[in-house]
Structure 1
Amino acid sequence: MPLPMAIHAQDRLLSLNIHEEPGIDLDHLIPGMMLWPLFLDPDNATWVLYARYAPGTTLPSHFHTGAVHFFTTKGTWGYKEYPRDQQVAGSYLYEPPGTMHTFHIPEDGEPVEGFMVVSGVNVVFDDEGNYLNTDHAGSMEQTILECAKRQGIDMPRYIRPSGPAAFTA
């Protein structure tokens, strides 16, 4: 039996190294947060990021419409709603669609780093439960591009597997 033909011919692997790419500082939006975009696919509602958070970082409460996979590489963090379930370096966390929580790092903690794969939309709420906004692959891409420009980075390097919808030739 012959081997299958490649659908996508590649002359090299699509690979990024966070130690070779500048982090995108989101400090003016979320103090102490830095992101390395790895894969942003607005067409399929998927984003993959490496993130660094400073001690004392608390993200707004958010509801996930899709699954999240988070692997902690440094530090200790948790969700306010689950104080007994702290995530430490080496922890893998699966968040099924339909979950809601508030990411938090203690003030006296150490910086946290981790790798995440997010699908769907995050619906974000304030402390009183009022709707604030939604985060998704497209909005994350826009935020990352705007923050990169503020840093003097014309275009951060990441993998974007598709473009706007269009007719085939």
Structure 2
Amino acid sequence: MIPTPIIDHKTLLTLNTNELPIFEEAMPGVDAQPLYLDPHENVWVVRAIFKPGVTLPKHYHTGTVHLFTLSGKWNYVEYPDQPQTAGSYLYEPGGSIHTFMTPADNTENTDTLMVVHGANINFDAEGNYVGIMDTTWFMQIFDTLVKERGMEPAKYITPAQHRYTTDK
């Protein structure tokens, strides 16, 4: 027997990245496009486009990551002999520590799609804690950029607020 759905889906939750704005310089050297941000489960799906010569802070992942490279080239500083190029898929288990970078001699931007569970705990070159990058951080960044730049609100998929079963 076919199960009865508990949620009435009247429309697909779908986005076309070609029709959504890209937040240029969301971080230095990084353009970003939010697709799915779930602050309840701390899952973020973001398209990130890295300019040549970008190095992110060393970071520790509290959860898993699925990273698809759509174009360009990047590698972890710790694994220079394992570059990721267009068509690459990388799985990172929770507990991974590394430093993302795009080579300065890249001839094009590096376009990626990442599905991240949990947070990135970021550190400076000396190993000092500098901050957390998680779903809430991304939501705040995009909200701030919208206000500062006079843009339309970012359109991305996010789950509904939790509620009691007796709430209407």
What TM-score, normalized to structure 2? 0.93
Counterpart CA distance in 1 for 2:74 and 2:25 is 19
For the 8 Å contact 1:41–1:162, the answer to whether it is kept is: no
Aligned CA distance change for structure 1 residues 166 and 7 (closer, same or farther; 3 Å): closer
Query: What residue in structure 2 maps to residue 15 of structure 1?
Result: 14
| Coordinate RMSD, CA, aligned | 1.2
- How far the C-alpha of 1:152 sits from its partner, in A, is 1.8
Counterpart CA distance in 2 for 1:70 and 1:151 is 29
Equivalent residue for 2:72, pick from 65, 72, 75: 75
Aligned CA distance change for structure 1 residues 13 and 149 (closer, same or farther; 3 Å): same
Residues 96-139 of structure 1: CA deviation (Å, up to 9, x unaligned): 00011111011111210011000111100011110001111111
Query: What residue in structure 2 maps to residue 34 of structure 1?
Result: 31
Residues 32-70 of structure 1: CA deviation (Å, up to 9, x unaligned): 211110000010010001111111111111000100000
Matched, 1:6 2:36: no
Query: What residue in structure 2 maps to residue 52 of structure 1?
Result: 49
- How far the C-alpha of 1:154 sits from its partner, in A, is 3.5
Query: What residue in structure 2 maps to residue 156 of structure 1?
Result: 154
Query: What residue in structure 1 maps to residue 95 of structure 2?
Result: 98
Q: What amino acid sits opposite 1:155 in the alignment?
A: P
Query: What residue in structure 2 maps to residue 141 of structure 1?
Result: 139
Query: What residue in structure 2 maps to residue 24 of structure 1?
Result: 23
Matched, 1:167 2:164: yes
Equivalent residue for 2:118, pick from 114, 117, 120: 120
SS of structure 2 residue aligned to 1:142: helix
SS of structure 1 residue aligned to 2:144: helix
Counterpart CA distance in 2 for 1:64 and 1:157 is 26
Q: Which moved more, 1:81-90 or 1:31-40?
A: 31-40
Misfit runs of 4+, over 4 Å: none
SS of structure 2 residue aligned to 1:118: strand
Q: What amino acid sits opposite 2:155 in the alignment?
A: R
Unaligned runs of 5+ in 2: none
Query: What residue in structure 2 maps to residue 87 of structure 1?
Result: 84
Equivalent residue for 1:61, pick from 58, 70, 85: 58
What TM-score, normalized to structure 1? 0.93
